[in-house]
Amino acid sequence: PKTLSLQGQIYFGQGKLAEALDVHEKAKTLRIEVFGEDHLEVAASLSNISKALMMQGKLHDAKMALDSALHIQRRHLGRRHKYVAFTEEGMGNLLKQEGRNEEAVQYFQKALSTARHVEDTLFAERVQKSLDALGTTCDSTA
């Protein structure tokens, strides 16, 4: 599955979105066979699938995949983990692309709060820029 995920990332970089999606779907299937459906490796595949779908403009399907990934991550890692925050940021970006800015802000605020909690300054700055682009600020208690 890791080799497939790497191949999918290469396809992303080449702009071959259909191929990337196909490879990430195969990686997800293999990860489910090996680890079961409720595993962080499956969540990683779902995040990659969501990215491919989002880049193809299939936002509804992308959101469903990202929701599933986030659910698995929160169950295994809790709400204050860096990987959860990355996925929350992704959800914020997806919702922003859909024009659902108020919901996007909520996800960006969660991601920013976690980034500050785990003291990841670069990630916090990136999320803050997303919030700034929406004309919103966030305090660290979100």
The stretch 1-8 carries a mean pLDDT of 86
The stretch 31-60 carries a mean pLDDT of 96
**How far apart are alpha carbons 17 and 48 in whole angstroms?**
11
> Is the pLDDT assigned to residue 139 strictly greater than 50?
no
> Is the pLDDT assigned to residue 64 strictly greater than 60?
yes
> Strands, DSSP E only, in the chain?
none
> Is the pLDDT assigned to residue 136 strictly greater than 80?
no
Nearest to 66 by CA among 85, 41, 49, 79: 49
Provide the pLDDT confidence category of residue 114 given band limits of 50, 70 and 90.
very high
With contact defined as beta carbons under 8 Å apart, do 131 and 109 qualify? yes
